[in-house]
Amino acid sequence: MAPALPFDEAGGALIVGITASYGLVKYGGFLPDKEDEPGKAPPPIPGPRVLIVGSSGGVGHVAVQLAKKCLGASFVVGVCSSKNTAFARQIGCDEVLEYDKVEMAKLAGLKPEWKESFDLIYDMIGSDEFYHPLAPLLLRPGAPYVTAAAPVDGARANPVSLLSLVSAVATFAYRTVLGARPFRFVAVDNSEWPRIAGWINEGKVCPVRVR
C-alpha cells in the first residue's frame, strides 16, 4: 500500500495506477524497457506528446499526472467534458478538448499544427467516435493508439448487457483478424506498483475520488 493514501483508497489507486502506467509505459512506449529502482523514474523518452481521451476520469486523471509529472511528457492534451476542463488543467493538461463543444471531425481545421505530432493517444472511453477523427490526424506514423476500455455501446457506467458484451467480443475478433490496424488483447500485473507507490508518496501523483 502507498503510505500516503488512506487504506480505503489504496486499493482503487492500485487498479487505476497500474492501468494508467501500462498504457503509457509498456504499450505506449514512454520509458525504456528495463528494470528500475522502485520509486525512481527512469530516463524518459525526450519530450513525448500524448493525448488522453477521458482525462478527468478515474484512470485518465492518473494517466495525465504520470505523463506530465513522472514520465517527461512535453505536451499533454486532455479530452473531457467542459464541466471538467478546470480539473483537467489543474492536474497537468497543457490543452483541453471539450468533446461537448468541439467537433472532433473538425479538429484538422482547428489545430493544423498538431498533424502527425503525437507519440501516443491513450483512450479511456473506447469509442470509435474518438479513434476515427483523432488517430489518422494526430498520431505520427507508427505511433500507438492504446485503449483501456472495450468498445461497448451506451453509457460506460451502466451495466453491460449480454448483447453488448457479444457485440464487443465480435468487434475485438473482427479487428484482430481483419482490421486495418493491429488490435490485440493485453493483460496487466502489479509489477509497476512499487514505482507508482513511490510517486504517490513523493506527491507527484495524487489520485482523487472521481464521481
Question: Does the residue 211 lie in any domain?
Answer: no
CATH number at residue 13: 3.40.50.720
Q: To the nearest whole percent, how much of the chain has pLDDT over 90?
A: 41
Question: Does the residue 57 lie in any domain?
Answer: yes
pLDDT in tens, 130-141: 888 999 999 999
Question: Does the residue 41 lie in any domain?
Answer: yes
**Residue 51: which of 80, 90, 26, 13 has the closest Cα?**
80
Expressed as residue numbers, the domain containing 33 is: 7-150+159-201
Question: Does the residue 207 lie in any domain?
Answer: no
* Number of domains within the chain: 1
- Report pTM: 0.80
On whether the CB atoms of residues 116 and 141 are closer than 8 A, the answer is: yes
On whether the CB atoms of residues 210 and 202 are closer than 8 A, the answer is: no
Question: Does the residue 134 lie in any domain?
Answer: yes
Q: Where are the alpha helices (DSSP H) in the chain?
A: 7-21, 58-65, 85-90, 107-110, 128-138, 162-178, 193-201
32-51 mean pLDDT: 59
pLDDT in tens, 48-88: 999 999 999 999 999 999 999 999 899 999 999 999 999 99
Q: Where are the alpha helices (DSSP H) in 94-153?
A: 107-110, 128-138
Question: Does the residue 1 lie in any domain?
Answer: no
pLDDT at 63: 96
Question: Does the residue 210 lie in any domain?
Answer: no
Question: Does the residue 163 lie in any domain?
Answer: yes
88-109 mean pLDDT: 93
